[in-house]
Structure 1
Amino acid sequence: MPGTNLTRDEATTRAALVDVTSSVIDLDLSEATTDGVETFGSTTTLTFTCRQPGSATFADLVDATVHEITLNGAPLDPATAYADSRIALPDLQAENVLVVKADCRYSNSGEGLHHFVDPADGRVYLYSQFEVPDARRVYTTFEQPDLKAPFTFNVTAPAHWKVVSNATTPEPVPTGATNGRGEEVAVWNFPATKPMSTYITAVVAGEYYEVQDVYEGAHGTIPLGHYCRQSLKDYLERDRAEIVTLTKQGFAFFEDAFGYPYPFGKYDQLYVPEYNMGAMENAGAVTLRDEYLPRSRQPRSFYEFRASVILHEMAHMWFGDLVTMKWWDDLWLNESFAEWACYHAEALATSYDDAWTGFTNARKQTGYRADSLPSTHPIAADNVDLHAVEVNFDMITYAKGAAVLKQLVAWVGLDPFLAGLKQYFHDHAFGNTEFADLLTALEKASGRELSGWAQEWLQTAGTNTLSPAFELAEDGSYASFAINQAAPAEHPTLRRHRVGIGFYNSEPSGSGEGRLVRTDYVEVDVEGARTELPELVGKAQPELLLINDQDLAFAKIRLDERSRETARARLSDLDDSLARALVWSAAWDMTRDAELSATDFVELVLGNIGQETDAWGVSRIPVYAAQAVNLYSDPARRPELAARWEQGLRALLAAADPGTDHQLTFARTYAAAATSEAAVAELEGLLDGSLAFEGLAVDQDLRWTLLTALARVGRADDARIDEELAGDNTISGQEKSAAARAAQPTAEAKERAWTQALLDPSVPNETQRSVVLAFWQPGQEELLTPYVERYLGEVAGTWERLGSHKASVALEFIFPRLLATPATLDAVDAWLEAHADAVNPGALRYVREGRADVARALAAQARDAHRPGAS
């Protein structure tokens, strides 16, 4: 629908014309418990002014049945006024009142107002998700971030429900009526909110379990609500103390760091089902994936990530909610800052004080990958319309943005940086800004000219590579030393970097070599293609030289030959976890860039991951190694490397201390790698209890991991999956069973999964996602080969058939990367040449990204085939 694609120019024109005084939203959710319900009543009263009386504009409303439209007391015919998701508003007055009565649709895609029935107990749960442009699926809006207004929600629902919105929850008032199931109905009349943008409004309603706590801060009392499905309440109670602690630590830290008290009165955190994102920063009513209340044991990295999500959304109360970008070009003003702030707070205010190490091992890698794709874009993207926003909502905005801000903090100093932020929040509270507003505040506070820095880092794309270049004197000291900087040909910008350089050498001990410890450190500014560093001349060459020590810069780094050999032999001896993370990162970057063979990377992992201490390193690095085995290795010798990987994981599992994250991670990874008869038999033994490892609990989620691995090798049919599902009648069980079926190596299973993933829009979003992620399995290449052409044949219609979110999931993750062959590359290239001009830009992006991944894999395979010692 063209009308759903609001352009930046249209938004600018509308904002110049109107100001919104208030929005009153009446929602009738009383029939949501009735079987087969598809719609709900939505009445919007929108009060606004117009600077040019007599002119015209439009309001937004998507996929609705409109019954009445009244503008300034005069009726408008819905048949003519409402078309293409827009309501035409002619002949405006200086002051206007628009009333729209409509029926809107519940969704099963996580967009708009999502409707969910819990299979565990039949209870109904609703929640809204409005970012980027989906408030218009629930009520009539001016759907753009710079038309802020107070919102008043009046929600009619079953009287026994909980109903939560942005304002403090009122006592429900009985209506005296009942719904179609005979349930009493009440209305919740919420007070008006502070001025806010449409995309951060929220309504969450259903039979939620509720608990309350309080934060007593320097600026007053903040009520803290926590909500989840009734079937998850035991898990919420189990984790409540930690969640409350993190929430209180976050408020204390941010109110001080940002110099502005929390602006939205109360703070609810609502764990909701079938959620598309990690969480959403609705003002005062944050929604989060309810997988963050895990039912089975998880490694520390899971809880570290949950902490970062909680703090990220809290940071948004200032970055995004209090001060909001005028248009989505400055989305990074929300996301990059909240991402940096959450890790900054995590490291300084919580028990996860090594958060930046985890950031380097995991999150930052997503930024490096995104920046290497043909879809890369500047952090401050040119979002000309809503379609551009949807495809640029990615890890450039989040991970690269946060890493670049970390470098900016190093560039200007933390105290001046925070001083600029404090002024920014006070100057623009409850308003909208552009990048220039923030830049002015930071320049004033720091005394640094930052427009050049912004041009280099925020308005260009691509990742630089930093490499050491030196000559040695006879005594082994540096006779000369420089850092060379390179850039990809497509994005040739050379930037200024603040980098640390660490010297690591063996620590003497009583018996042979000790730990590798930092013996020297210098911090320098790098600029241009070559930066001479005379301060390093005369220093002895260390056993390991680490450029970008402390991880201040967003740049790939390379190790010199001696450092590479030291890392290969002794990475686990390196005593600093962040330094290890940088070496892991360099090794993985070199593998992806076909500079280090996949085989060598796998051996590096097998030789050192058992001693890794960083939680994210333990859980994420084996994922990279599995990718090296299945995608980047020489196809002719892949079975040999896969066997080495399987056996190495088995040895790591046996050697892991009982009950540790290492043990759990190696068990999961071993299951995913198992192909030999011996390994498959052990998976059966773990599942039936005939094989056990001390400290390893084979709980429900691990059972599904094992069963899915057995399904992948043809040892678990539908009947066996049904049997497991019968004992786990939950939405998680349904999603995991769908994944297990999709993993099966039969034509029938793949056909069913393909339909669920790409052809059937009725499949719920998280079930579809589970199927998509399980579809491509190593060892099934012959069975899956026809799906290269089938994928290409479905691209054109998927966006319209499934909607933007489910289409994005399908087209990105079911792309045939696993079949990284010249034939696949040729087929994709031929399709792009024939169809690139006629396909939705979002869909086209995922094809181009997949094509780039295949080309990268082919280069890595060639490197692995020609590694030293390969026959």
Structure 2
Amino acid sequence: MPASDTITRDHAKLRAAMLEVDSYRINLDVTDDAVFAVHTVVNFSVSAGALGHATSIDLLGHEVESAMLNGHAVTYDGVRLKLDDLQADNELVVTSSAPYSTTGEGLHRYVDPYDEAEYLYTQCAPADARRIFPVFDQPDLKATFELRVTAPAHWEVLSNEPGEYVVDGNVAHWTFGATPVMSSYLFALIAGEYIRVAEDSRDTPEASVPLGLWARRSLARHVDADQILTITKAGFAFYEQHFAQPYPYSKYDQIFVPEFNAGAMENVGAVTILEDYIFRSPVPQATVLRRAITILHELAHMWFGNLVTMKWWDDLWLSESFAEFVSHLAAVDAGFPHAWTTFNATEKSWAYRQDQLSTTHPVVADMVDLDAVAGNFDGITYAKGASVLRQLVAWVGQEQFLAGVRSYFAEHAWSNTEFSDLLRHLETASGRDLSGWSEQWLHSTGVNTLSWERRNGVTITQSQPVRQHRVGIGFYDFDETKQLTRTDYVETDLNAEITTIHAPDSALVLVNDADLTYAKLRPDTTSMHTLTEHLSDVDDSLARSLLWATAWDQTRDAEASASWFLELVLDHVAHETDSSMVFTLLRQAATSVERFIPDAQIALYRHHLAGRLWHLVLEADAGSDLQLQLVQAFLRHAREEHAEQVAQLAHKQGPPGFSVSTDMAWIALQRLVAMCKAGESEIDEALEEDDTSNGYLAAIQARAMRPTKRHKAETWEQLTGGTLTNMELRHMVMGFMDVHEQALLEPYTSRYFEQISDLWAANSYELAETLALGLYPSWAVSEQTAEQTLAVIETTPHSGLKRLLTELHDDVLRALAARAAF
């Protein structure tokens, strides 16, 4: 039986008690197209109590040529090297090789279909450094890393530290300085025909930090270098001021890398970023703001996560939630005044959904092993955690919160901590006992509902379990221009199930105005009437976001009909000025049509939605952000009756004043393919005109959308054949599932449930997750689908798959309830 490739928390604790790791000296040869070769020297010492005992070091999927500990050969089982007879000081020397990754995990290799240029990058979080070299792959065994790389002479090579090279014929030998002590998941190697798009520096009287911006050759001209570097420098200034710690590393490169699974990764001094954030076509301002938040999030990690690091992944939430919270603070400071509106519209809606699933967990999760870690990169860890930090700041005060953070960095720089260490500093700075707050918000699950009625003031009822909420309460009335504007505002603590406050008479009462706490909202009858009729008249974007979230929550909870929500969106979205809100609303409208409306009426409502969207497109300001998003939404829902408009967009002919990009023309062509009004020849022609990586993936998706039984069968075989890269798989899955006639997918419902457990076992986590989520028959909202899902949950041995299917089962039940309320 093969060895388990997980790392358990108990094993990590034992190793941390036994070992102190000094250094890794890594020599990588990446001149071969198929495999990389690595020679690694690890120096470490052990505690007196561990002398003569054994441990193991992680190395996943390598061909080991030689492995010697203190001059003696060690054994390897494909997952770990066993280290026996430990001495006070030890040296492990390993020579090995492994194939490059095509899944975005470990050392990933990509060949650009446009110009055949080669690109490599590492992704080591949470524990994939072990796919590259032998390593004690856990965050609390920090060490220094010295890297040498042999690469083709025409490549650029980047790592955590600056590098130098000498050319020897067709190869270059690169040497990088030793890093400060850091965790293994932060190791970085980026190599290939990357172009340095821009360079700058962050200059203070104390230091000058070089800033680099990199992308692959075929996309370099599309990078918004000035804007990205401006945001980066603003982030440096904000964090250095509020953390009272200078940037702790020698440089700061940001590299856009292909086929990346995440939004970005905070490698020390060498942040890797998803290429979707290179905009070769116009994108909504919501996406521009999301990129800014991502840039600031990763920069925050240089302090919180990298300089001071969690001991184990139980505190993953703290690293991610803190970065998410402070990145929104920094975004406001950097010129994005409505960043908290975006936070409510996107992050909080994610958190609320995740927290109402049966798989919800406390913010402080029980990460027993890496399988649990992989499943908990979720809306609790990121979004709920950041939301409750926002509530904590509202309770103790922002200055007191940041003062505690500053003393935390001062004490724990370069070390590993637990949440209790931060809590102690926050208690000292604020003068409050936070143990009760921690228990209420971090160690329990679920989202409270705050409902209110007007009866001798405003009576607010909090659902169980009762928590302490610091909330703002806003009172809104119409001004002389018929706008709903806030006329009164109070802040108060809700500590009981029922709280009554004095309140002026007003058209709209909004509990949790300013969005200080984490809770669903249920307004009084008068406020709900005002919301329905006048939502777009509210003059504050964050208040509107809270009201939109209220409408959506009621729809998801089967308290309001999906038809009501759709009409609310169609009546008000054209007046919405916040791009992130428009983006979220149009996605929620799509979910309403596809999931919350009974099958017999989906076609009717989709036709209605597409028609109204196109009408709004024609009424919108030409070339506006709103018009762009409306066209994108129209293309999602357009069917045969809208073929003429779709065909015009596919030929880059849009409404007057609207410029149709190549990327949008692809989306329109894909829709024509699904209509059976375009096929292989049109796809080939489009690819010939756009033979870029974007075009390559768009063509894969288009071919998977061909609406015949034969093409769907061929696509299924490709999807389950194990030969696709992570991005090829993702786009093919999207195309396969995008059909106008559900009958095309009906044969694959049973095949999904028969095969998914085996597919999970045969693939890496990233690919397995794409298959499990992407191919799930979510279109088949029925009791039978729920029963089939439960059957696999009960029989599969894979905990990660069990969790995903449990959440998908919850979604089916929610959709059934919403349909019953329709």
The bucket for the TM-score relative to the shorter chain is over 0.9
Is this contact kept in 1: 2:61–2:78, CA < 8 A? Answer: no
Aligned length: 818
Partner of 1:845: 803
Once residues 764 and 831 of structure 1 are traced to their aligned partners in structure 2, the CA distance between those partners, rounded to angstroms, is 26
Partner of 2:45: 49
* Cα 1:568/1:778, change in 2 over 3 Å: farther
Please, which of 546, 552, 568 is the counterpart of residue 516 of structure 2?
Answer: 552
* Cα 1:362/1:49, change in 2 over 3 Å: same
Is this contact kept in 2: 1:466–1:557, CA < 8 A? Answer: yes
- Alignment partner of 1:614 is 2:586: no
Partner of 1:503: 475
1:319-468 → structure 2 map (5 Å cutoff)? 319-347=304-332, 349-468=333-452
Q: Which moved more, 1:594-603 or 1:66-75?
A: 66-75
Partner of 2:454: 470
Once residues 858 and 331 of structure 1 are traced to their aligned partners in structure 2, the CA distance between those partners, rounded to angstroms, is 34
Partner of 1:809: 770
Is this contact kept in 2: 1:3–1:86, CA < 8 A? Answer: no
Once residues 539 and 92 of structure 2 are traced to their aligned partners in structure 1, the CA distance between those partners, rounded to angstroms, is 65
Once residues 496 and 135 of structure 2 are traced to their aligned partners in structure 1, the CA distance between those partners, rounded to angstroms, is 49
Partner of 1:567: 531
Is this contact kept in 1: 2:449–2:463, CA < 8 A? Answer: yes
- Alignment partner of 1:526 is 2:527: no
Please, which of 553, 564, 578 is the counterpart of residue 600 of structure 1?
Answer: 564
AA at the equivalent of 1:767: E
Once residues 135 and 363 of structure 1 are traced to their aligned partners in structure 2, the CA distance between those partners, rounded to angstroms, is 29
Structure 2 residues without counterparts, runs of 5 or longer: none
AA at the equivalent of 1:771: M
What is the CA deviation profile of residues 504-523 of structure 1, one whole-angstrom value per residue up to 9, with x for unaligned ones?
111124xxxx1001111111
Is this contact kept in 2: 1:58–1:89, CA < 8 A? Answer: yes
Is this contact kept in 1: 2:790–2:806, CA < 8 A? Answer: no
- Alignment partner of 1:303 is 2:317: no
Is this contact kept in 2: 1:29–1:155, CA < 8 A? Answer: yes
Once residues 322 and 779 of structure 2 are traced to their aligned partners in structure 1, the CA distance between those partners, rounded to angstroms, is 35
Partner of 1:827: 788
Partner of 2:691: 729
Partner of 1:222: 209
Secondary structure of 2:493's counterpart equals strand
Secondary structure of 1:697's counterpart equals coil
Please, which of 105, 108, 130 is the counterpart of residue 102 of structure 2?
Answer: 108
AA at the equivalent of 1:727: E
Q: Quote the offset at 1:606 in angstroms.
A: 0.5
What is the CA deviation profile of residues 751-792 of structure 1, one whole-angstrom value per residue up to 9, with x for unaligned ones?
2332343x1222010111112233323632222122221111
Q: Quote the offset at 1:84 in angstroms.
A: 4.1
AA at the equivalent of 1:569: E
Partner of 1:231: 218
AA at the equivalent of 1:57: T
Is this contact kept in 2: 1:594–1:859, CA < 8 A? Answer: yes
Q: Which moved more, 1:642-651 or 1:262-271?
A: 642-651
Q: Quote the offset at 1:637 in angstroms.
A: 2.6
- Alignment partner of 1:680 is 2:649: no
What is the CA deviation profile of residues 453-511 of structure 1, one whole-angstrom value per residue up to 9, with x for unaligned ones?
1111111111111100332xxxxxxx153211124xxxxx33211111111111124xx
Is this contact kept in 2: 1:217–1:252, CA < 8 A? Answer: no
Give the fraction of aligned pairs with identical amino acids, expressed as a percent.
43
Partner of 1:490: none
- Alignment partner of 1:63 is 2:61: yes
Once residues 762 and 141 of structure 1 are traced to their aligned partners in structure 2, the CA distance between those partners, rounded to angstroms, is 29
Secondary structure of 2:157's counterpart equals strand
1:779-818 → structure 2 map (5 Å cutoff)? 779-818=740-779
Is this contact kept in 2: 1:271–1:290, CA < 8 A? Answer: yes
Partner of 1:708: 670
Once residues 717 and 471 of structure 2 are traced to their aligned partners in structure 1, the CA distance between those partners, rounded to angstroms, is 50
- Alignment partner of 1:186 is 2:158: no
Partner of 1:476: none
Please, which of 581, 591, 594 is the counterpart of residue 555 of structure 2?
Answer: 591
What is the CA deviation profile of residues 554-576 of structure 1, one whole-angstrom value per residue up to 9, with x for unaligned ones?
11111222111111111111101
Q: Quote the offset at 1:14 in angstroms.
A: 0.6
Partner of 2:26: 25
Secondary structure of 1:639's counterpart equals helix
Once residues 442 and 194 of structure 1 are traced to their aligned partners in structure 2, the CA distance between those partners, rounded to angstroms, is 27
Q: Quote the offset at 1:83 in angstroms.
A: 0.7
Structure 1 residues without counterparts, runs of 5 or longer: 32-36, 179-183, 472-478, 488-492, 865-871
Once residues 144 and 41 of structure 1 are traced to their aligned partners in structure 2, the CA distance between those partners, rounded to angstroms, is 23
Q: Quote the offset at 1:743 in angstroms.
A: 2.5
Partner of 2:459: 482
Once residues 444 and 274 of structure 2 are traced to their aligned partners in structure 1, the CA distance between those partners, rounded to angstroms, is 33
1:656-695 → structure 2 map (5 Å cutoff)? 656-677=620-641, 679-688=642-651, 691-695=653-657
Partner of 2:660: 698
Once residues 575 and 480 of structure 1 are traced to their aligned partners in structure 2, the CA distance between those partners, rounded to angstroms, is 24
Q: Which moved more, 1:412-421 or 1:460-469?
A: 460-469
AA at the equivalent of 2:98: C
What is the CA deviation profile of residues 408-443 of structure 1, one whole-angstrom value per residue up to 9, with x for unaligned ones?
110110001000101111111110001110110111
1:250-261 → structure 2 map (5 Å cutoff)? 250-261=235-246
Q: TM-score, normalised by structure 2?
A: 0.98
Once residues 4 and 392 of structure 2 are traced to their aligned partners in structure 1, the CA distance between those partners, rounded to angstroms, is 39
AA at the equivalent of 1:17: M
Secondary structure of 2:821's counterpart equals helix
Secondary structure of 2:113's counterpart equals coil
Once residues 455 and 848 of structure 1 are traced to their aligned partners in structure 2, the CA distance between those partners, rounded to angstroms, is 27
Secondary structure of 1:83's counterpart equals coil
Q: TM-score, normalised by structure 1?
A: 0.92
Once residues 335 and 732 of structure 2 are traced to their aligned partners in structure 1, the CA distance between those partners, rounded to angstroms, is 36
AA at the equivalent of 1:628: S
Q: Quote the offset at 1:748 in angstroms.
A: 2.4
Is this contact kept in 2: 1:361–1:585, CA < 8 A? Answer: yes
Is this contact kept in 1: 2:321–2:381, CA < 8 A? Answer: yes
Cα RMSD over matched residues?
A: 1.4
- Alignment partner of 1:119 is 2:119: no
Partner of 1:314: 299
Once residues 310 and 578 of structure 1 are traced to their aligned partners in structure 2, the CA distance between those partners, rounded to angstroms, is 23
Q: Which moved more, 1:225-234 or 1:773-782?
A: 773-782
1:132-281 → structure 2 map (5 Å cutoff)? 132-170=126-164, 172-174=165-167, 176=168, 184-210=170-196, 211-236=198-223, 239-281=224-266
Is this contact kept in 1: 2:360–2:445, CA < 8 A? Answer: yes
Once residues 702 and 695 of structure 1 are traced to their aligned partners in structure 2, the CA distance between those partners, rounded to angstroms, is 15
Q: Quote the offset at 1:359 in angstroms.
A: 1.1
Once residues 317 and 128 of structure 1 are traced to their aligned partners in structure 2, the CA distance between those partners, rounded to angstroms, is 18
Q: Quote the offset at 1:800 in angstroms.
A: 2.1
Partner of 2:728: 767
Once residues 87 and 327 of structure 1 are traced to their aligned partners in structure 2, the CA distance between those partners, rounded to angstroms, is 22
Once residues 404 and 774 of structure 2 are traced to their aligned partners in structure 1, the CA distance between those partners, rounded to angstroms, is 41
Is this contact kept in 2: 1:70–1:99, CA < 8 A? Answer: yes
AA at the equivalent of 2:502: E
What is the CA deviation profile of residues 75-111 of structure 1, one whole-angstrom value per residue up to 9, with x for unaligned ones?
33xxxx1014010000011000000100122010000
Secondary structure of 1:337's counterpart equals helix
Partner of 2:16: 15
Is this contact kept in 2: 1:108–1:762, CA < 8 A? Answer: no
Secondary structure of 1:196's counterpart equals coil
AA at the equivalent of 2:46: C
Please, which of 70, 73, 94 is the counterpart of residue 71 of structure 2?
Answer: 73
